[in-house]
């Protein structure tokens, strides 16, 4: 089974058929799914919301962790689908690292500053 870090402290462990999640290396109870399960947008959103509750303190500044988790899971699912159809990776999925988290936070701060600048014009 492959393992990918989707956010600091949260890993997904998966193979061609199923996936589960770990927080700080420990299996998260009742969080085992098939890839078919996660094609359901409502279930994907529910899983992402649940995982967001397990975030490390260092990652608490991420503006929208649910969206980021959903995006990472979709990337991994697409790479799994590509592996099954072509037998090769189209593009490797990389782990989220501190730079990803920091850039996501910085982007949010830049947006806040832009909004403040716009307020002054009125």
Q: What is the pLDDT of residues 7-62, one digit of tens each?
A: 888 999 999 899 999 999 999 999 999 999 999 999 999 999 999 988 877 666 78
**What are the structure tokens assigned to 106, written together?**
């910085």
How would you list the strands of the sheet with 18-23, edge to edge? 2-7, 10-14, 18-23, 26-34
Q: Model confidence at 63, in pLDDT bands (50, 70, 90)?
A: confident
Contacts of 60 (CB under 8 A, 6+ apart): none
CA–CA gap between residue 33 and residue 116 (Å, rounded): 43
65-102 residue pLDDT tens: 999 999 999 999 888 877 766 655 444 455 565 566 56
Mark out the alpha helices in 1-122 (DSSP H runs). 41-52, 65-86, 98-120
Domain count, the chain: 1
Rounded to 10 deg, the angle between the 65-86 and 41-52 helix axes is 130
**What are the structure tokens assigned to 39, written together?**
């094609």
Beta-bridge mates of residue 58: none
Per-residue confidence (pLDDT) for residue 90, from 0 to 100 = 41
In a 13 Å sphere around the CA of 69, the CA atoms on its Cβ side amount to 28
**What are all long-range contacts of 107-113, with beta carbons under 8 Å and residues at least 24 apart?**
108/63
> Angle 79-80-81 (CA atoms, 0-180°, nearest 5)?
90
Range of the domain at 29: 2-120
Residue 119 or residue 60, greater confidence: 60
């Amino acid at each position: 089974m492959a393992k990918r870090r989707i956010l600091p402290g949260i890993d997904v462990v998966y193979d061609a058929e199923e996936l589960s999640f770990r927080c700080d290396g420990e299996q998260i109870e009742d969080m085992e799914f098939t890839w078919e399960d996660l094609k359901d947008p409502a279930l994907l959103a529910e899983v992402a919301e649940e995982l967001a509750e397990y975030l490390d303190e260092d990652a608490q500044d991420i503006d929208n962790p649910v969206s980021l988790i959903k995006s990472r899971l979709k990337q991994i699912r697409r790479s799994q689908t590509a592996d099954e159809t072509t037998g090769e990776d189209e593009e490797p999925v990389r782990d989220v690292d501190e730079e990803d988290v920091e850039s996501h936070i910085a982007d949010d701060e830049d947006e806040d500053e832009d909004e403040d600048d716009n307020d002054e014009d009125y």
